[in-house]
Amino acid sequence: RSAQELIRPQLPAELSERGKCPFDPATGLTELSGRGRIHRIAHNGDTVWLVTGHDEARAVLAAPQMSSDRINSPRAKALISPELHAELFPPERQAGSFIFMDAPEHTRFRRLLTGQFTVRRMRDLTPRIHEIVTTRLDAMVEKGPPADLVHDFALPVPSLVICELLGVDYGDRDEFQRRTAKLLSLTTTIDEQIKNTVELRQFMRGLVLAKRNNPGDDLLSGLVRDTDLDDNELTGIANLLLIAGHETTANMLALGTFALLEHPDQFAKLRDNPELTENAVEELMRYLSIISMGVSRHAKEDVEIGGVTVRAGETVVVSVPAVNRDDRQYDDPHALLVDRPRGHHVAFGHGIHQCLGQQLARVEMAVGFTELLRRLPTLELAVPAAEVPLRTDMSIYGVHRLPVTW
């Protein structure tokens, strides 16, 4: 098994790959959602409940009986020996990783972080995001077409923003981009995972110590100064923010641009009506559902969801792609409509773990798409769409490269 499989159950290919169009959920998944809202799926030694209905997804993600502790779940513990489990996830390496915690432990971290992710800090970052976006576009234009939009724009923008937020030197980006990509790859072995996790944490620990000695006005310095978090916890938090904060947004920018280019009427509508951007961002989040493999939980106690009883210890996977295309929730769910009225997609999750960085991600995407379409109104693919390499080997869906011209 790969390291990702320990914390994320795999689904059979017909439910996990994309459909005929690279933006659509797998055909098997769409057929399954037509038959019900929660399904029992057996694959590769796992039996999981797969949620495809919108209301049921929200119920699972809001239920206090559902645990996010994927590291210590009965499933993860059954898959590897106690010795290997202890080697892969020693307590000091779990510290601060609050995405895997349940209340009340989660609440403590989430409160401290919400205190740092203030509206003010996000507002202050907006001009800087504009600057970052503009600088990257200037450089891309200066080099001239064709360009790889991932390399020149979609990846550097969120990487620079998260570096700014955390007070990481952008010169160190190779250090975290390469390791993050490894950690999110579905083919990374458990040994490689241990090596990458240890190295990334060492890098982060160095950063935490630097902030202790010489605090700035970044978020990490704020946590060092204003809270009683210890170095292991701070390292875990910095790690989580860095991993969660740049690959996701990068893939939304790249895959979102690809989707717009493949829907020229929507591209033109957005380009000619930039006031639609915030709406378009929500629609792209819904339509693309880059957290393709879904969000998983396990039941701590028996719980009723959508007419079935999920027994204590069982795993539930909320299929983000299926839920965001639920036809009971959206008219014409498979259409990309940049002016679609905003609904309640689950692309940022729901409940106590709902994405902490969602406002930041929204600003990055809004500024990114607006400026990209304004500066390059004639943007188009530089290769046939079928040749764009899709990221099917990663737990976050997107494209490896997006060759464009203008």
The answer to whether residue 261 forms part of the interface with ligand HEM (CB under 6 A) is no
Q: Is 252 in the site for ligand HEM (CB under 6 A)?
A: yes
Looking at the Cβ atoms of 27 and 358, the one nearer to ligand HEM is 358
Give the per-residue contact string, 307-346, with ligand HEM (x = CB under 6 A; - = no): ----------------------------------------
In the complex, the smallest distance separating the C-beta of residue 81 from ligand HEM, rounded to whole angstroms, is 26
Q: Which residues within the stretch 143-162 sit at the binding site for ligand HEM (CB under 6 A)?
A: 162
Please state whether beta strands 403-405 and 380-381 pair in parallel, antiparallel, or not at all (unpaired): antiparallel
At residue 157, what is the residue type?
V
CB of 126 to ligand HEM, least distance (A): 14
Integer CA distances (angstroms), 402 to 235, 385, 392, in order: 33, 9, 15
Quick check: 353 binds ligand HEM (CB under 6 A)?
A: yes
Q: Contact with ligand HEM (CB under 6 A): which of 25, 167, 222, 245?
A: 245
- The sign of the dihedral angle between the CA atoms of 217, 220, 221, 227 is positive
Angle at 192 between CA 357 and CA 189, to 5 degrees: 95
**Strand stretches in 77-158, DSSP E:** 147-148
* Residue 397 near ligand HEM by CB under 6 A: no
Peptide bond before residue 146 is cis, with ω within 30 degrees of 0: yes
Helix pair 277-288, 358-375: axis angle to 10 deg: 110
| Site for ligand HEM, residues 273 to 292, rule: CB under 6 A | 290-291
> Least separation, in Å, of the C-beta of 191 and ligand HEM?
26
Give whichever of 15 and 291 is closer to ligand HEM, judged by the CB atom. 291
Amino acid letter at 69?
D
Fill in the DSSP letter of residue 95: T
Rule CB under 6 A: choose which of 96, 156, 333, 349 binds ligand HEM: 349
**355 contacts ligand HEM (rule: CB under 6 A):** yes
Q: Are 319 and 294 in contact (CB under 8 A)?
A: yes
Residue 295 sits in the site that holds ligand HEM (CB under 6 A): yes
Range 47-86, binding ligand HEM (CB under 6 A): 68
Q: What is the DSSP string of 263-275?
A: SHHHHHHHHH-GG
Question: Which of 254, 356, 367, 381: binder of ligand HEM (CB under 6 A)?
Answer: 356
With CB under 6 A as the contact rule, which of the stretches 82-90, 254-262, 350-358, 379-387 interacts with ligand HEM? 350-358
Number of residues that bind ligand HEM (CB under 6 A): 24
Q: Least distance (Å) from ligand HEM to the CB of residue 229?
A: 14
Does 9 participate in binding ligand HEM (rule CB under 6 A)? no
Distances (CA, A) of 38 to 24, 55, 60, 194, 404: 20, 11, 11, 34, 40
DSSP string across 360-393: HHHHHHHHHHHHHHHH-TT-EESS-GGGSPB-TT
| 200, 361, 363, 394: residue in contact with ligand HEM (rule CB under 6 A) | 361
Q: How far apart are CA 121 and CA 138, in angstroms?
A: 26
23 in contact with ligand HEM (CB under 6 A) = no
Instruction: Name the residue whose CB lies closest to ligand HEM.
Output: 357
Q: Does 204 bind ligand HEM (CB under 6 A)?
A: no
Looking at the Cβ atoms of 38 and 219, the one nearer to ligand HEM is: 219
d(CA 118, CA 188): 35
Q: Distance between CA atoms of 5 and 229, rounded to whole angstroms? A: 30
Residue with smaller CB distance to ligand HEM, 111 or 143: 111
Q: Compute the distance between CA of residue 182 and CA of residue 283 in angstroms, rounded to an integer.
A: 29
Site for ligand HEM contains 357 (CB under 6 A): yes
Instruction: Give the residue with the Cβ less far from ligand HEM, 42 or 119.
Output: 119
Q: Quick check: helix, strand or coil at residue 351?
A: helix
List of residues contacting ligand HEM (CB under 6 A) = 68, 98-99, 110, 162, 240-241, 244-245, 248-249, 252, 290-291, 295, 347-349, 353, 355-357, 360-361
